Amino acid sequence: MYESNDLMVSHPSHYQSETGLEVIDVIEAFTFDLKGIEATDTGNILKYMCRWNAKNGLQDLEKAQWYLTHLIEHVRKLKGENKNHE
């Protein structure tokens, strides 16, 4: 795996927990079976929720909310389409 000498590139502190768990590992674990926009939205929700307190505060919470709303609308649309095909 590529590693940069610049920790802000490879391992920024706002993407690590106090125990050293990295957000990239959380995203990978929770999106491994998702595809497309579902994986993208879920990954972004996790990213912004994990870093909000160490980086951009309220703005990151609002970004997470935006992606969550987008994901909810996507899933509702899929459910509606599936219901029409039954």
- What pLDDT digit, counting tens, does each position of 27-49 carry? 999 999 999 999 999 999 999 99
Query: Under a CB-based contact definition with an 8 Å cutoff, are residues 45 and 68 in contact?
Result: yes
> Virtual CA dihedral for 59, 21, 30, 4, nearest 10 degrees?
80
SS3 (DSSP) at 41: helix
Q: Could you tell me the pLDDT band of residue 18, with boundaries at 50, 70 and 90? A: confident
More confident residue, 3 or 1: 3
Q: For 10-18, which contacts have Cβ atoms below 8 Å and span 24 or more sequence positions?
A: 13/54, 14/51, 14/54, 14/55, 15/47, 15/50, 15/51, 17/50
Q: Give the predicted TM-score (pTM) of the model.
A: 0.84
| Residue 62 to residue 43: CA distance in whole angstroms | 15
Write the CB contacts of 13 (distance below 8 Å, at least 6 apart in sequence): 7, 54
